[in-house]
Amino acid sequence: MTELIIIKPDDMHLHLREGDILKYACKDTAKQFARAIVMPNLQAPIISVDQAEKYYLDIKKNVGIYNFEPLMTLFFTDLLNSDEIKKVSDSEIVHGIKLYPSGVTTNSDNGIDSIEKCFNIFELMQKHEVPLLIHGETNDKSVDIFDREKVFIDRHLSQIHSKFPDLRIVFEHISTKEAVDFVIGTNDKVGATITPQHILLDRNDLLSGGIKPHHYCLPILKRTEDRLAIIKAAVSGSQKFFLGTDSAPHFRHQKESSCGCAGIYSAVCAIELYASIFESENALDKLENFSSKFGAEFYKLPYNDLKIKLIKKEFQIPDKIKIGTEEIIPLFAGETLPWQLSEI
Ligand code: DOR
Ligand code: ZN
C-alpha cells in the first residue's frame, strides 16, 4: 500500500500547555488531528468549567488555519462538588475529568491523596455520564517506579470499576501487560489510550548505553513484554483501545537536566508513527478504527467529516522545534519514518 486516506484522527490524550508553547503545540496537533482531549495539568490546573471555557478560547486562537476542536477536561481536586459535575455534564466543551494521584507526575501536586474520598464524586459522575480519565499509577513512593501502574490497578482501579460499573473510565497511557489484561477483563465502559512511546520503546531505550532524557515519560517505559502486549492491544481491533499520544512538550533544558521533567513531544510526527507501527504489524486496515473511530465512540462523539491522506514517502522528523530562544526536542528527532502526511 502506498497511499492511505482515513478520517482525520482524534488524539484522545494531549498536553497543549500555555504561553509560548501553546501556539506551536496547537498547530502541530491541528495539522494531524481534528480533535483532542486536552489535559488540564497547567501550572495552575483547570479546575472549573469556567476556566476550561477560557482555555478553550486560548486554544482556538492558536490553531491557525485548521478546523480543530479541543475537547476540554477538568483536573480532579478535593474541591469538586455536585454543582461542578452538573456543569460538566451540561457543558458542550468539557468531556471528562482527569484524576492524578497527587505528585505522581508533572503539575500534579494538587491531585488526589485519597481515592476512597472521591467515591461520592464518582457516584455523581456515573449518574451524569461524565467520563473519568485516570493517570493510573500509585503515588506511594515506597512502591518501585516500575510497579506503580500494576499496584494502582490492584489497590484502586479494580475497586473503582467494581463499585461503579457504569462509570466510564479511560485508563490513560497504559504501559504494562497487566494494564492491557485489566482493560480486556472489564465491561464496555472502560477504555484505554495508547501512546507511540509505550508501543515503540522499552526501558532499555531509556537507560541502556547512557540515559536518554527525551525518552523519559510517566508512566515510565517498561519491559519488552509489556510493549508487545500494548502493540497487540492496539492492533487487536478491540474498540477499548484507542489513540492518545500523551504528547507533552517540555523545553530542552528542562529535560536535559539533573532533575529532568517527564514528557515526550510527539505531536509533530504522531500519525506517521502510528502508521509505521500498524504497517509493521500488517494492520494498516485497522489504523482508522484505532485513530479516528474508537475514541469518538467512547466519548459519544460523531466521527469527523474531515479526512487525511498518508503517503508512503520518507518523512524526516525535525531535529528540534525552536520557540524563541528555547527548543523542544521531539520524539525520534532527526530520524526518518516511512509514512508522511500529504495534501488531500
Ligand atoms: O510523561 C508525562 N508527561 N506523563 C504525564 O503524566 C504528564 C506529562 C506532562 O504533563 O508533562
Ligand atoms: Zn498526559
Read off the CATH number of the domain in which 189 is found.
3.20.20.140
Substitution candidate for ligand 1 out of 13, 14, 41 with most atoms within 8 A of CB? 41
336 occurs within a structural domain: no
312 occurs within a structural domain: no
Domain count, the chain: 1
Q: How far is CA 56 from CA 44, 62, 135, 342, in A?
A: 15, 10, 22, 28
Report the DSSP beta bridge partners of residue 133.
Answer: 98, 170
325 occurs within a structural domain: no
pLDDT in tens, 192-207: 999 999 999 999 999 9
332 occurs within a structural domain: no
User: Would you please indicate which residues are annotated as catalytic (active-site) residues?
Assistant: 246
What pLDDT score was predicted for residue 53? 98
- Give pLDDT < 70 ranges for the chain: none
Whole-structure pTM over 0.85, yes or no? yes
Atom nearest to 264 CA in ligand 1: 1
Determine the structural domain holding residue 116 and report its residue range: 8-303
313 occurs within a structural domain: no
CA 288 to chain centre: 17
Peptide bond connecting 165 to the previous residue in cis, omega within 30 degrees of 0: no
Nearest CA to ligand 1 atom 4: 218
3 occurs within a structural domain: no
Q: Which residues surround ligand 2, an ion (CB under 5 A)?
A: 246
258 occurs within a structural domain: yes
What pLDDT score was predicted for residue 343? 84
318 occurs within a structural domain: no
pLDDT in tens, 216-254: 999 999 999 999 999 999 999 999 999 999 999 999 999
Within 6 Å (CB) of ligand 1, which residues are found?
Answer: 15, 41, 105-107, 135, 217-218, 248, 262-263
CA distance 143 to 165: 28
